Amino acid sequence: MDKPLILVTNDDGITAPGIRTLIRLMKEIGEVVVVAPDSPQSGMGHAITIDNTLYSKKVADGEYSCSGTPADCVKLGLQELLGRKPDICVSGINHGSNASINVIYSGTMSAAIEAGIEGIPAIGFSLCDYGWEADFGPSEPFVKQIVEEALAHGIPPGVVLNVNIPKTDNGAIPKGIRVCRQARANWREKFDKRQSPQGKDYYWLTGTFELLDQGTDTDEHALSEGYISVVPTQFDLTAHHAMHQLNSWNLK
């Protein structure tokens, strides 16, 4: 039986420790092709390059860097570099949480969603540790398990999995895996205004994460309890529950 073809990407860049861990794990499962940004692209969301050129460079056997966004990487990989449709796309492992509202801004998850739009089963993995020296070791068996289960059973059409892994102390293993819903939360944002030596104002975006959801079935709750959260995420943004109300308006 042929090994599955796995497309690996991320938003932290092709040299990031997280993607290097993911590449190594995926090579234990199947044939791997990597298409990832040549520099960090965190927070890019689903941005694509339409007013500039894209460049790609082969950096190793089966590995390509791309000058564009994470979504660009998937598009370019599928259309130009792979040669055939992959069996699954995995994105990450991201340095930092993409749970709750963070999924909206995440380049990691947008890369996975781009694959999902093309009908490819896809998973985004994130570790809740922003450090470059983050310890991915405790999460490794769970990452493999989730990918192997997805390959064996499939992911529902129109759904992409958002997997977040808690930061553990002293190499402790996560307690297990919980399928969750996305917690309701927001960022209380502010801008740190400064001035350049030339007298021009500039700004740094800062903020505090604000959890607005006390439910025990959410990704944030699972992570706080030491569990890996798996949220089935859809890219159909229709608010189906609101259609009845809108149809009661006097719209002609």
Sequence-ordered strand ranges (E) for the chain:
5-9, 31-37, 56-60, 63-66, 88-95, 122-127, 159-165, 177-179, 185-195, 201-211, 228-234
Q: Is the pLDDT of residue 1 over 80?
A: no
- What domains can be seen in the chain, in order of their start residue? 5-184+214-247 (3.40.1210.10)
Q: Is the pLDDT of residue 192 over 90?
A: yes
171 pLDDT band, cuts 50/70/90, is confident
Distance CA 127, CA 176 (A): 14
Q: Name, in order, each residue with C-beta under 8 angstroms of 1's C-beta and a sequence gap of 6 or more.
A: none
| Distances, alpha carbon 224 to alpha carbons 22, 69, 128, 137, 166, in Å | 24, 31, 11, 19, 7
Find out whether 61 is annotated in a ligand binding site: no
Distance CA 43, CA 165 (A): 19
Per-residue confidence (pLDDT) for residue 252, from 0 to 100: 82
Find out whether 42 is annotated in a ligand binding site: yes
- How do residues 99-139 score in pLDDT, each as one tens digit? 999 999 999 999 999 999 999 999 999 999 999 899 999 99
State the DSSP code for 166: -
Phi and psi at residue 245, to the nearest 5° = -65, -45
Q: What is the mean pLDDT of the chain?
A: 96
Per-residue confidence (pLDDT) for residue 170, from 0 to 100: 84
Average pLDDT over residues 194-200: 95
Find out whether 65 is annotated in a ligand binding site: no
Q: Is the pLDDT of residue 243 over 70?
A: yes
Q: Are strands 5-9 and 63-66 parallel, antiparallel or unpaired?
A: unpaired
**Token reading at 73:** 């990487």
| Residue 25 CB-density burial (10 A; 0-12 exposed, 13-18 middle, 19+ buried) | buried
The predicted model scores a pTM of 0.95
Find out whether 219 is annotated in a ligand binding site: no
